[in-house]
A and B are shown apart, each in its own frame.
Chain A
Amino acid sequence: MEILMAIIIGILFASATYLFLSKSILRIIVASGLLSHGAHLLILTMGGLKQGAVPLVNKEGIPVTDPLPQALILTAIVISFGVTALFLVLAYRAYQELGTDNMDQLRGTEGND
């Protein structure tokens, strides 16, 4: 199961890298979404995918899955939500103000003399 997950995460990382290298800002934001998906799945996989009960209080005492990676993912998800929301608004403002979404046209030359 871990091997399958590793392959899928690898595909996610590859797609994210490909999109990060493109010119349009929106594609870059999609890439950041895919990258964070990959990272979160990777935490889950690295914590171990052994079968067990959900980590809620269970009186039977059956083994549960590792609760720590789930807490880490939850934290990482909200952080990347916040950053992605800011990123989208920033891209919107930049489009309004600068009139382009092409990263090639966003080069700066100030102070390079």
Chain B
Amino acid sequence: MINLIVLPILIPLLTAVLLIFFASKVKTQRWISAISALLNIGVAFSVVRKVFVDGIQILNVGSWVAPFGITLVSDMLSALLVLTTTIIGFAVILYSFSSIGKEREKYYYYALVQFLLVGVIGAFTTGDIFNLFVFFEVMLMASYVLLVIGGTKIQLRESLKYLTVNVISSALFVISVAYLYSVVGTLNMAQISERIGSLEEMPGILTVIAVLFLIVFGMKGAIFPLYFWLPGSYFAPPIPVMALFGALLTKVGVYSIIRTFTLFFFQDKDYTYELLMILAIITVVVGVIGSIAYWNIKKIIIYNIITAIGVILYGVSVATTTSFTGSILYLIHDMLIKAALFLLIGVMIKITGTSNLRQFSGLIKHYPGLAWTFFIAAISLAGIPPFSGFVGKLLVIQGGFTAEEYIGATIILLSSLLVLYSVMKIFIHGFWGVPKEYAKKESISYRALLFPIVLIITISVLYGIGSDYVYSYVSQAVQTLVNPELYIEAVLKE
């Protein structure tokens, strides 16, 4: 079916529209959104299979040939990220049933989650730079409302800051697109790449535009000097929303950096890739400093997002086949594991009523299932061999050492230690020790909350064990990154 690749965008969009009509019927909303999310996983999976068998999939919207209309492009990287997004979406929706509360559910919570998924999946699939901007805005609009829904004081305060930062970065995105349009005269990503590629050498203005794009997407993806908004904003919303944000939003920025840097700005690697590398390394350092500094479990996980972004972008900046493979493996692993970790600390906060690590201990006595799930998530995050974080990080570091970028690779190696320390701190202080008063609250339906987490952790463990199987998919994704011609040929074939 030729329209297959638009379905992952269309299904959540139609679901969101449908959900608006059932605002007061919470049960109906839950059924609709769960079924649609499950359906979308199936569709995303068939897209991955299709891309694996038949190569890059193109859909010219409205049958206008490639550079003139909007083209949707699904290469292996997009398809894999879309699949991961749908899985996380499904898990978070299941988790929301027993966590988010009726008050928020009645005010279009599920519709907003679906709109957020539309934005994220659309941003992964589009082949047009301005369309990417529009999908960014769809995603951001939904995220503004998800951040503020409920209207508590902290949410209102942090939404103001989050909105201000994103208004500025969106305006910068528009400005960068305007500059790029005036230089190359097209908006189709494949044609931009072709026109830049046909130049003898990259003119200075394109380097400037590359840095502008790095600033724009770095602001969305929280790299070193532009991460300042993230710790506060991600602290405010309820847990399922936090999981969606932590797993998806920043990764869209990272994906955009990967896409633009491998497709547009691959000629003058000296300056732009060097800059990206320095920023990535400092991002890792800032992330680990934050994650070991705090005693608040939310903050610890939030700073771990920043570390992971640094690791992924370091792999991208090295720009060899090995390091790209590592980055993509790590990107998918990190989306899954961050969602799982946020949902896990959500359960912990629900049980103990606090996110301060100093105020609880001994959870393992009454909640062994939760404890061991957290343990697996923690060691996956750090990259202990049989689990999912290992292969990605291994290849990133191997790529770094082969390209003789010793400093960065060593820092990333050392950062794993501190990442492990930061999550083990939660495990040791929170789960071990003497149980405290709160320990036997009957009202907590903790099994219902744990089910989606176990689902994600299982997928992540399988992902780690079946690295061989996943590798064949990821290496296909890397093909388009190291060879932009494949992408251009697929889009502009006529």
Contacts and interface: CB of A to CB of B under 8 A. Distances in A.
A108 B356 CA distance: 16
Nearest to A96: B156
Contacts of A108: 154, 157-158, 232, 235
Contact of B179 (A25, A46, A111): A46
A47 B160 contact: no
A110 interface: yes
Interface in A81-98: 82-83, 86-87, 90-91, 93-94, 97-98
B163 interface: yes
A106 B174 contact: no
Contacts of A94: 156-157, 159-160
Nearest to B172: A39
B151 A97 contact: yes
A83 to B, nearest CB: 6
A45 to B, nearest CB: 8
Contacts of A82: 141
A86 B174 contact: no
Contacts of A98: 153, 156-157
Contacts, number: 110
B182 interface: yes
A90 B296 contact: no
B171 A36 contact: yes
Q: Is the interface of A mostly helix, strand, loop or mixed?
A: helix
Contact of A20 (B145, B148, B153, B168): B168
Contacts of B145: 86
B296 A97 contact: no
A113 interface: yes
Range class of the A interface residue count: 35 or more
Interface in B77-95: none
A12 to B, nearest CB: 11
Interface residues of B, number: 40
Contacts of B295: 113
A14 interface: no
Contacts of B133: 76
Contacts of B220: none
B20 interface: no
A90 B156 contact: yes
A47 B181 contact: yes
Interface in A29-72: 32, 35-36, 38-40, 42-43, 45-48, 68-69, 72
B232 to A, nearest CB: 6
A90 B159 contact: yes
Nearest to B296: A111
Given A46-B182, A90-B148, A113-B295, 5 more contacts: A46-B179, A80-B167, A97-B151, A98-B157, A110-B296
Q: Which 3 A-B pairs have the closest CB atoms?
A: A46-B182, A111-B296, A46-B178
25 contacts: A20-B164, A32-B167, A35-B167, A35-B168, A36-B167, A39-B174, A39-B178, A40-B174, A43-B174, A46-B182, A68-B181, A72-B177, A72-B181, A79-B134, A79-B170, A83-B137, A86-B163, A90-B156, A94-B160, A97-B156, A98-B157, A106-B161, A108-B158, A111-B235, A111-B299
